[in-house]
Amino acid sequence: MGKKLTKQQIDSLENEPLIGLECDGYSIEIGRLIKKSKVRFLLMIEGDIDPNWLIEPDKHEQSKFYRPAIKYYKASKRSKKMSKVDTGMRKIDYASMGQALRYLNKVCDSIELKHVNYINQVLE
């Protein structure tokens, strides 16, 4: 088992708009974006997002970096209990940087921080 991010590292990176990681040999960037007037965090592998990774997760190793798409439904209109169903697809974005980092910590054998907010460093 390789090196993982600590809770303190994840907490310190929570407010960063853009970070780069090396996860299981893949270069991963997580960046902030606005989606339907909400702030979300997009994950890109090797600077790309292939739709096949999201639609056919069993056929692609890169799919493990994206979280499963779960749907909740009620058995009937009067039922209060919600049932959970895995759609078999993956979601491309995360609600926060911390959520993305915690998920990657769970599914990856090794994670190494490469750069933090490197766009500001290039522009200066």
Mean pLDDT value of segment 7-22: 92
The structural domains of the chain, with segments of one domain joined by +, span 7-123
> What is the per-residue pLDDT across 71-120, written as a single tens digit (0 to 9) for each?
988 888 888 888 888 888 999 899 999 999 999 999 999 999 998 876 55
Q: Are 115 and 19 within 8 A, CB to CB?
A: yes
Nearest CA among 94, 102, 91, 110 for reference residue 40: 94
pLDDT (tens digit per residue) in 27-83? 999 999 888 889 999 999 999 999 999 999 999 999 999 999 999 888 888 888 888
**Does the structure show a pLDDT above 80 at 121?**
no
Give 54 or 121, the one with higher predicted confidence. Answer: 54
